[in-house]
Copies of this chain bind each other. A is one copy, B any other.
Amino acid sequence: MLSENEIEFRVRYQETDAQGRVHHANYVTYFEMGRTELLRSQGLSYRELEEAGFFLVVAGIEIQYHSGAQYDDLLRLVTRTVKVKGATVQHEYEIYCEQELVVRGYSRLGCVDKNGRVQRLPELLRASR
């Protein structure tokens, strides 16, 4: 199974701020899009995971900002699963505008049931690395 995926998307005007660049909070949302599409490329659907009672909650985020992106820039996001263990999955992200690195990020997600109790990741997801 794939443990890396790449998507491209354009910066929306709404995502910019008065400095004329993408507001730094939006990269967290971009990362989430990357995870959704990484799962899909593995034949999984996060929506179906939730419907099956597996909820991924974000436990930690880290972002290093290297340059700024502007409205209408075509960004390329590389999402990688770097660790899957028990109830936890870690991802790494890189966002590029053309050849330039814009941000690098990391996330740690935990798997819980609908009552918020920690549960092991579903088999399919653990096998996806």
Q: In angstroms, how far is the closest chain B Cβ from the Cβ of A47?
A: 4
Copies of this chain in its oligomeric complex: 4
**Range class of the A interface residue count:** 35 or more
In the complex, whether A99 has a CB less than 8 A from a CB of chain B is no
Complex Cα spacing A113 to B60, Å = 32
| Residue positions of A touching B, CB distance < 8 A | 10, 12-14, 16-21, 23-26, 28-29, 32-33, 36, 45-47, 50, 55, 57-65, 68, 70-72, 116
Q: In angstroms, how far is the closest chain B Cβ from the Cβ of A39?
A: 10
Complex Cα spacing A21 to B20, Å = 11
| Interchain CB contact under 8 A, B55 and A59 | no
Q: Which of A19, A21, A29, A55 has the most CB of B within 10 A?
A: A19
Chain B: CB-nearest residue to A32: B13
A72 and B60 contact, Cβ closer than 8 Å, known pairs A14-B32, A17-B16:
no
| Interchain CB contact under 8 A, B14 and A17 | yes
| Interchain CB contact under 8 A, B55 and A33 | no
A47 and B71 contact, Cβ closer than 8 Å, known pairs A18-B13, A61-B63, A62-B61:
yes
| Interchain CB contact under 8 A, B28 and A24 | yes
Question: Which one of B12, B17, B23, B60 lies within 8 Å of A63 (CB-CB)?
Answer: B60
A19 and B61 contact, Cβ closer than 8 Å, known pairs A12-B33, A25-B28:
no
